[in-house]
Every structure is written in structure tokens, then in C-alpha cells.
Amino acid sequence: MNQSEPPEFEPLTRTQVLVAMAVTATILLVVAKVWQSLGAVRLLSLEFTLSAILWGLGLAGVIVAASAIVHRFWGAYRHSANYYLELVVKPLIWPDLIWLGLLPGLSEELLFRGVMLPALGLNVTAAILSSLVFGLLHLSGTHQWPYMIWATIVGGILAFSAIATGNLLVPIVAHVITNFVSGCLWKWSNSLEMPESQ
């Protein structure tokens, strides 16, 4: 076994992945609501406008393209991302990828950009701190540090988009679309590599 590759893992079932996503999303939503209530934090504005949707879609395109470039040229990130996607996306069927976009996209944005950013001051320091915590949430083991670094960078991009626009819908759309498209691209590319008989 190559030392740069993560250790073997016990494959998860489709049900286990879906339940884990739902439970995690619920926990994050509860934490956001409790923090908002106890800390008297005002939720970042959520305005459904065409402009916000377009900004979110554009931001998702930038993140997906940047991720593809990082995936191609940074071997440690490629191994780390593939390990994570193999664990999470492989057991899912195509329609499940909608949940891969929605559950983390909505719950993580509500907590990290909707509540944490305003609670910490809605400034550069708040963006950095919320991004670091967001990155740590994506650290599932010591071999996953490259994935954590990338998640921290993406968290920063999403945080600054929330600060710049003042609209939580922008990072929500960007996050949901990024997760969905990334999952689809990984599933599609891996279906091309594997024969159907497997």
C-alpha cells in the first residue's frame, strides 16, 4: 500500500450515507437555532432575488472549476477528495445527489454563514474563523488534511460572498450547486472507468 493513500475503510451503504447526511444536517440546524436564540444573533438576510441566484450560480462555477484544477495538480488533495467521494458518493444513486447538494448546503450555510458570521462580527476576522471551523468539520481523519484545507478555502469564498452581498442566498446557492455538480461529475467519471459488471 502506498503511504500517501488513506487507509482502507469499510464501505457505507446508501442508507447509512443518507441517514448520516440527514442527522448531520439536523444537528447543524439545531446548533444554529440554539446559537441564534441564546446569543440573540440576527440571521444574515435571506433575500430571494434573481441577482443572488445568478451570483450563487457563478460562484459555484468558479468553485467547481477551481476544485477541478486543484484536483488535477495537487496529488494529496486528489487522494483525499477521492477517498471522501468514494465513501460518500459511491453508494448513492443519481437522484440522491440532490440530497448531497441540499442537506449540507442548507444546514452548513445557515450555521456558518447565516449565524456564525454575524455572531462573530460579519467582518474579515469572522470570515476567517468561520472558514476554519467549516474546514475542521470536513476533517474525518489525519489523512484528510488536504480536503480540510480546500474546504477551509471554499468556506472563505462563501463567507466573503455573504459579507459582500449581505445575502445568505448567494452562498446557499453556491454550496448546493457545488456539492451537486461535484457529486455528479465524480459519479459520472467513475462510471466511465468501471465496467458495468462490477
Instruction: Show me where the domains of the chain are located.
Output: 14-20+48-192
Q: State residue 3's pLDDT score.
A: 47
Q: Which amino acid does the sequence have at 23?
A: V
Q: State residue 11's pLDDT score.
A: 83
Q: State residue 1's pLDDT score.
A: 43
Q: State residue 197's pLDDT score.
A: 45
Mean pLDDT by 10 residues, the chain (198 residues): 52 94 97 94 95 98 97 94 91 96 97 97 97 93 91 98 98 98 92 58
Which region holds residue 127: left if phi is over 0, alpha if psi is between -120 and 50, else beta? alpha
| Distance between CA atoms of residues 177 and 90, nearest Å | 18
Q: State residue 165's pLDDT score.
A: 97
pTM: 0.90
Q: State residue 10's pLDDT score.
A: 75
